[in-house]
Structure 1
Amino acid sequence: MYLGDIEGLRFESNLIDTCHEGTSCITFDGARPLNVVFHGHTDEFSYEYYGIHQGTEDRLTFVGRAQQKFRAEFIDCRENSKTWGKRACLEITPSIQRCLVIPPGVAHIFDGLERVYTINSFKNFLPPPDDWLSGLVEWNIAADTINIHRNIADDEIPRIRTNAHAASRTFYELTSRNIEKSMDGVVIEYPFTHSVKFSDGSEELLKFQKKTDDVKPKPRRLELDELIGVHLNRRLFVTGSDGDEAGFTTMTCGLLSIFDHHVENIVELANKNPNSVRHLTFFDDPQSTLVATATRGNLSSTFSINPSCFYDLVLQPGVTLELSGQVTLSAIRMIDA
């Protein structure tokens, strides 16, 4: 059963574990990178333009207050689709139980996502290898998004040729390395792409992005307690047009668990694996406060931190953490020491 009668547009169930009262968990194997998108905690969040991917299948899990509703609109722009030109509008509530699957070539736009976090465990698709290598098909993953205005008329809907070859694990590994190399410590505004027609009749897809020469990167590492083995580590991130209020951060490697918390409670996290370092990222209003107590052997330290997508709290092997306070979403990555 497809949503809005658009072929391939659907919900899929997530595999969920219940960790303890009020908390659910999704675990990802780390084979593909994923993005966690944040939309701010104050004003109403909406987009001005549809986004269309030529080679990316978005797989979106929305986490937030269960009573919140937001609006999603879609247009099928795939040139060979039986439902090309079909429009659909849905009202969605956040739920970690399911993900929204948006095939390549289906334009999408959202309104009312403030205080909602979106986990995008996307899949990439590539052009036919021979055509790509020979230059018959020009496609670049960095320019995979095409934007069209939300008020586009039916007779202006584009016909997008989408990629169909599933990317390999090697492709994702290479992509992760490139992200880690190019995004570390960078704060940039998410690019906007637009198809421009010139006076000679030619048409090109142009990407626009603000300069970031004057942006000072955040410190790479902030020590909390060096003796116990706890510090903050800078994350990979891209901001939106509203600065730190909106944007996304990328998880690129390691076994990853994402937790959806619904109650204020005390959570105990023990890193008992002697061969791995645990990275924790907390997502919520940055004005809120979490109180943490780190213990290693006979040593302990208590400190306060604010939820932030810009830093990981890093626990060395053998460190136990007790955490209290309200947090909407947290991510834990296990990375070889």
Structure 2
Amino acid sequence: MSLIAVLALDGVPGHQLTTPGLVFAAAARHHPWVNYDLRICTAPGFERTGGPAAFRIETSWGLEGLEDADTVLLPGCASFRDAPPPAVANALRTAAARGCRIGAIDTGTFVLAATGLLDGRAAATSRRHAAELARLYPRIEVDPDGSVVSHGPFHTAAGVLGGLDLCLRLVTIDHGEAVVIETERQAFLQLHSPADGSVGNVSPSAIIPSDGNLEEAIRWMEANLQHPLTLTQIAGHASLGPRTLTRRFRTETGLSPLQYLLRARIQLAQRLLERTDDPIERIAARTGLGTPANLRHHFHRYTGTTPGIYRNAFRSLAAALTWAERDQAEQL
């Protein structure tokens, strides 16, 4: 269990307060071995989030919620240019002194900088405030273009989507690239889930089993998805008979070996649709699904949509979520 405390100061942007829950919940929900506990803590003087569409929150946690946290996240706030309340600065210094990981998002970097914890370190904030951060805190090496800057136990993020990027960076550190790829997909899809369910997704197949033979077999399967793979071949790679392999596979993953193989292929298809311009014919070959018709059949069965609709919807969503970042850059 990794305990993450999000410290809200008055005027925190609402999306920066809710994004950690979105990301860490997606990581835990889709990967059974990932276990995060998230708590929202309010600083002295907190009243509500910032605009637009400010809202109030109720939580039983104040600064004491940081005392046993493994990670503290510090979103931005309205009064970031002012010195933080002494109790806040002391709580952050205490957390750092016991080895807690601390992340700051956007103007939250100013609050962390005011504690002196970033002196002599590299850090990032929003581009429009980077020069100001460098002027106010000359002992910090401000990265004007940094998305996420990590220096020791401190991680700072810039941009409209900085909170999302920072949380994904922490998931990568904790659980690796395979987990964060699926978490990123699920987080993006949750940010905009059409009422008709036209953008579907498949539950992850990347369940790491405790059985060493099965783990080795799974990694071999995932490295050879483009090739025709039979149950006998998989069993041989695990040094098990087909019946024994199937029984252990179901016990460890809840799936048969061939069901697991198909889901892994669909997940690879999703990644290729999201991140490449490969035509459907090439994706079918790279995933081992053979023909475009076979790809479309299995993709629709597991996601409820077609490869073409999935690609267009995912890219439209990504563009919608990043338009503000581009607009901000053009104004600077």
Q: TM-score, normalised by structure 2?
A: 0.27
Greater helix share, structure number: 2
Q: TM-score, normalised by structure 1?
A: 0.27
User: Per chain length, whose mean CA-contact separation is higher, i.e. which structure has more relative contact order (CA < 8 Å, sep 6+)?
Assistant: 1
Greater strand share, structure number: 1
